[in-house]
């Protein structure tokens, strides 16, 4: 009877040892699987009776092909969406460039118009300057008395334009020959 009781006392200990051994076995299987020493699914599939639960599912060629086509379709859809987005951005940039081109064209036309106006004014100015130079030469060629008599009868602004183009000594001589009041008035206007 003593032996019987001793056997019953060892039963929980044996059970605990079996559980520890089983835990060590399962832990080492997972450790070896993580380390890449062996594949736990392949080993579990070889265990009689329960191996069928661990066996990898059999995949047919058609299923693989369908899955590959599905992934390819997803990839194509993503790429297509990216291309559509890029196309929209390009269209926006293209419109901006077209608008800038139109603005530049308008600015170029405006610049050309202003250039023509400026050239026309320059031509008019050059013609007027040539006329003033000729007129100035006429009065420089006259005797100071005659020039003073004629210039005294002219508009102040015309006299000033002629004097601005004459030699300073010639202007001084003509001033001396003019009426002092008139010479003073023209001098005052020239100093402004």
Question: How many CB atoms are located within 10 Å of the residue 171 CB?
Answer: 22
Q: What is the DSSP string of 129-147?
A: HHHHHHHHHHHHHS-HHHH
Task: Judge whether 133 and 165 are in contact, CB under 8 Å.
Answer: yes
Q: Where in the chain are the domains?
A: 142-192
pTM: 0.45
Q: Which pLDDT tens digit goes with each residue over 27-71? A: 887 787 788 787 767 776 677 776 666 666 677 888 888 999 999
User: CA-CA distances (angstroms) from residue 3 to 15, 74, 164?
Assistant: 18, 72, 147
Show the tokens assigned to 164.
């601005």
pLDDT score, position 6: 53
Find the mean pLDDT for residues 87-91: 95
Helix (H, G, I), strand (E, B) or coil at 46: coil
Find the mean pLDDT for residues 85-100: 95
């Amino acid at each position: 009877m003593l032996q019987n009781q001793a056997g019953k006392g060892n039963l929980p200990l044996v059970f605990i040892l079996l559980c520890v051994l089983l835990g060590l076995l399962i832990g080492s299987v997972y450790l070896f699987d993580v380390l890449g020493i062996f594949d736990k699914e392949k080993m579990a599939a070889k265990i009689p009776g329960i191996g069928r639960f661990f066996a990898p599912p059999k995949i047919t060629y058609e299923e693989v092909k369908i899955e590959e086509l599905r992934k390819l379709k997803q990839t194509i859809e993503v790429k297509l969406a990216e291309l559509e987005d890029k196309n929209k951005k390009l269209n926006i940039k293209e419109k901006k460039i077209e608008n800038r081109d139109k603005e530049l064209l308008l600015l170029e036309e405006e610049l050309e118009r202003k250039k023509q106006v400026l050239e026309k004014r320059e031509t008019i100015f050059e013609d007027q300057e040539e006329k003033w130079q000729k007129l100035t030469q006429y009065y420089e060629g006259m005797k100071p008395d005659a020039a003073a008599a004629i210039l005294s009868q002219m508009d102040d602004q015309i006299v000033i334009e002629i004097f601005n183009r004459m030699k300073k000594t010639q202007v001084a001589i003509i001033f001396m020959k003019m009426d002092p009041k008139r010479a003073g008035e023209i001098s005052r206007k020239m100093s402004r």
